[in-house]
Every structure is written in C-alpha cells, then in structure tokens.
A and B are shown apart, each in its own frame.
Chain A
Amino acid sequence: MMNRNGNAYTLIYALVLAAFVAGVLAWVSTSLAPRRKANEEAAKIAFIRAAAAMPEATVDSLESAGLRVFRAMTEEDTIFVLPCSGSGLWGPIWGYIAIEPDTCLVRGAAFDHKSETPGLGSRITEKAFGSLFGGRPFDGTLYSVKADAISGATETSRGVEEMVLECVEKYAPCFDSTGHFILKEEGNEL
C-alpha cells in the first residue's frame, strides 16, 4: 500500500475521485436532459397561457417586423403575447405580456426568473403580480407602481419595470398609428 500522505497518492486519489464524480454527473445530466427540456417547454407554454388568461389555448410562435411574437388561440379567441427579458437581482428574469387585439390594452402578464430570492423576488411569478398589468395601455405608463411592486424585493421590482418598458419600446413597430397590434408578416408555425 502506498503512503497515504505521499504526494503521488494524494494526487492520484484526487484525480480519480474527481473524474469518477464528473463522469457520473455528466451521464445523469445528459440522460435527464430531454425531461428537463420538456419541463422547460411546458412551463413556457403555461406562462404564455397564463398571461393570456386562456388555459386551454394552443400556442404557436410567429414573427412580426422581425420580432418574436406568440399567438394563443382558442376557437373563439386569438390573442398575441409578447415575450420580454431583463435582469433581476441574482440573474435573468423574463415574462410574457398579452395584448387584447381589439382594445389595445394589456390583458395580463406572467413573469418568471432564474434565481430570484425565494419568497421575495421570486414572487413575480405569482398570478396576483402578473394581473397588476391587466387592463393597462401598452405604452410608457404600463408600469406605474410608485413604490416597490413587491416589498422587500426592490431590485427585482426595478428589473421588471425596466424589462416591461424596454419591451414596450422594442415592440413599437408592431403597432399601427391607432395603437392596434398588427402582424407585419406571417412567420412559420413553431
């Protein structure tokens, strides 16, 4: 048996253990990847449906004026959902804003995040938070909360504000002079 405190033993021990652990974890990660991806995709569609308040809608993805737009459809209703992304306190945040085609008002919004603080910033995912945006015009006044939208989560609230206003600016080309959302060019089905 080699000397347990010798350099060679220590080095080989560390290398073999690290390689073994890395190998097993890489294998687990690869074999669970399809499941993880499916979960993420399902979560995305659920968020789009939540923003549009249409739990049964089929969702597809289009392009308008070179920008990504989602369309949620049921037999009697079609609504466009605009994606947005920004940064919170700890990492990226993103959301979906649903626009009423007739009234040009926001129907609702749903937000998600990568790693905001549980119980504080992470509450942007709650339905009550997204519904704050319902019935508001899709312009510079969309985010008009004076104090922090979520107390205790100042940075995340600011991140949402910045993200939402950026989204309004970015998607301006998709609206005509009367403020109605128009699809500039049909894209491919997702």
Chain B
Amino acid sequence: MNFKETIRKSVLGSNPVTVLVLGICSALAVTVHMKEALIMGLAVTLVSALSNLVISLMRKTIPSRIRIIVELLVISFFVILADQLLKAYAYPESKTLSVYVGLIITNCIIMGRLESCALSHKPAEALADGFLNGIGYALVLIVVAFFREFFGCGTLFGVQIIPQGWYFANGGFYENNGLFILPPMALILIGCIVWLQRTFDKDLQE
C-alpha cells in the first residue's frame, strides 16, 4: 500500500471516529475547548503510534493466548507515561482532561489498530498506521471543539473572538449558546460531519 493511499484511508476513508464510530466517548467529553481537544488528540496520536510500533516489534514473540493482555499492558504503559508527563509539565491542562487521559487505555481506536494492523505488519507500517489513525481522531476532535468553543464560549484557544460589546450583559444583542457546552451538541456535530462526509464520499454510501 503506498503512503498517500494510507493517509487518505486512515484520515478520511476509514476515519476512526466518523466512519468506524470509535472513540466517541472522549470525543464528546473533551471537545468543549480547543486546547484540551488538541492535547487529547496529540496524546492519543502518540499512544496509538508508539503502541502500534512496540506491538509490531513484539508481534513474533507474543503468546497468542494472552495477546489482548499484552496489548493492554503496552497501551497502559504509554497512557500512564503520558499522564505523568502532563501532570509534571502541563498541570492545568491535565486537570481539565482529568479522567479522560487515563481512559485512553480503553479507547477502541488504539486496541483496534493493534489487532488489525500491528500484529500483522512490519514496524514502519504499523507506526505510520497508528500515527495516522491518531491524527484522524485528533482532526475530528479539533473540528468539533472549534464549533463548540466558538459558539459556546465565544473564544478560540481561550482567546475572546466575539467582541465583549456584543453581549447582552454589556448592552449588545448576543449571547453564547449554552447547548454547545453540553455533550449532546458534540454528538450532533459529529453527526453533521458524518453526514457531510457521506455526501461527498460515494464509497461510504450504503
């Protein structure tokens, strides 16, 4: 498989969130603000790429009966590592992400890539696959977080975009839409992305 095709496939054609519908739980939870969505996306990308690489390197030694346990062990290793590093070097963000960093361990995207790619492919291919699937996940998170933060808080990356003077409180005409802050709106937005993607990508239409 050539590289370009892999990119197109993992980021768009078989995007883990919008096509395979995996990793939805965290996509609903950490997309209120772009900063957290970005950090979460990066953390998942790193964990996914590295655990894909390690499992691919170990694939010929893993006893098949404890395959899943070994995969979980490797994933947990990287997730706890990421959590520790966040707590030491990005403390405020680690507080906002709270439980969701730990929950990367149970993110189906990573487990799915290990099972369907890392166990049967060479390290370089597995690394690329894990990385690109992580990017596919991060992209969806960032798009969703863009709309949620913009309409829900009037900010992007914490910077006020909607002028303060527009708000009711300051005599204006505008009010942030509280629905965008709540998890259901993330589901609606992901639904819209799925709809748009299926409209343009004929391969996905059933």
A100 in the interface, Cβ–Cβ < 8 Å? no
Residues of B within 8 Å of A116, CB to CB, are 98
Residues of A within 8 Å of B99, CB to CB, are 90, 115
A13 x B66 contact (CB < 8 A): yes
B84 x A29 contact (CB < 8 A): yes
Bound-state CA distance A29–B91 (Å) is 15
A94 shortest CB reach to chain B, Å: 13
B65 in the interface, Cβ–Cβ < 8 Å? yes
Residues of B within 8 Å of A113, CB to CB, are 98
B151 in the interface, Cβ–Cβ < 8 Å? no
Residues of B within 8 Å of A146, CB to CB, are none
Bound-state CA distance A63–B97 (Å) is 34
A28 x B70 contact (CB < 8 A): no
Bound-state CA distance A90–B100 (Å) is 13
Per-position 1/0 for A1-30, Cβ under 8 A of B: 000110001100110011001001100110
- CB-CB contacts below 8 Å: B58-105 with A: 61-66, 69-70, 73-74, 76-77, 80-81, 84-85, 87-89, 91-92, 95-100
B30 in the interface, Cβ–Cβ < 8 Å? yes
Per-position 1/0 for B152-174, Cβ under 8 A of A: 00000000000000000000000
A68 in the interface, Cβ–Cβ < 8 Å? no
Q: Which residue of B lies closest to A12 (CB)?
A: B63
Interface of A (DSSP majority class): helix
Would A18 and B73 be within 8 Å (CB), given that A29-B84, A39-B91 are in contact? yes
* Contact size range, B: 35 or more
Residues of B within 8 Å of A125, CB to CB, are 95
Would A152 and B182 be within 8 Å (CB), given that A13-B61, A18-B73, A115-B98 are in contact? yes
B66 x A14 contact (CB < 8 A): yes
Residues of B within 8 Å of A122, CB to CB, are 95-96, 98
B98 x A119 contact (CB < 8 A): no
Would A5 and B84 be within 8 Å (CB), given that A17-B73, A117-B29, A118-B100 are in contact? no
- CB-CB contacts below 8 Å: A101-121 with B: 112-120
* Contact size range, A: 20 to 34
Bound-state CA distance A113–B95 (Å) is 8
Residues of A within 8 Å of B88, CB to CB, are 32, 35-36, 39
A119 x B87 contact (CB < 8 A): no
Contact of A32 among B84, B95, B96, B183 (CB under 8 A): B84
Residues of A within 8 Å of B183, CB to CB, are 119-120
Residues of B within 8 Å of A151, CB to CB, are 178
B181 in the interface, Cβ–Cβ < 8 Å? yes
Residues of B within 8 Å of A118, CB to CB, are 29-30, 32, 36, 96-98, 100
Residues of B within 8 Å of A90, CB to CB, are 99
Bound-state CA distance A125–B64 (Å) is 47
Bound-state CA distance A187–B97 (Å) is 37
Residues of B within 8 Å of A10, CB to CB, are 63, 65-66
Of B64, B98, B100, which is in contact with the most chain A CB atoms at under 10 Å from its CB?
Answer: B98
Q: Which residue of A lies closest to B91 (CB)?
A: A39
Q: Which residue of B lies closest to A150 (CB)?
A: B181
Sample (24) of A-B pairs whose CB atoms are under 8 Å apart: A4-B61, A4-B64, A5-B63, A10-B66, A13-B62, A14-B63, A14-B70, A24-B77, A25-B80, A32-B87, A32-B88, A35-B88, A35-B89, A36-B87, A39-B87, A40-B91, A43-B92, A117-B29, A118-B100, A119-B29, A119-B182, A120-B182, A120-B183, A122-B95
Q: Could you list which residues of chain A lie within 8 angstroms of chain B, going by C-beta atoms?
A: 4-5, 9-10, 13-14, 17-18, 21, 24-25, 28-29, 32, 35-36, 39-40, 43, 90, 112-120, 122, 125, 151-152
Going nearest first, the 5 A-B pairs with the smallest beta carbon separation are A119-B32, A39-B91, A10-B63, A35-B88, A32-B88
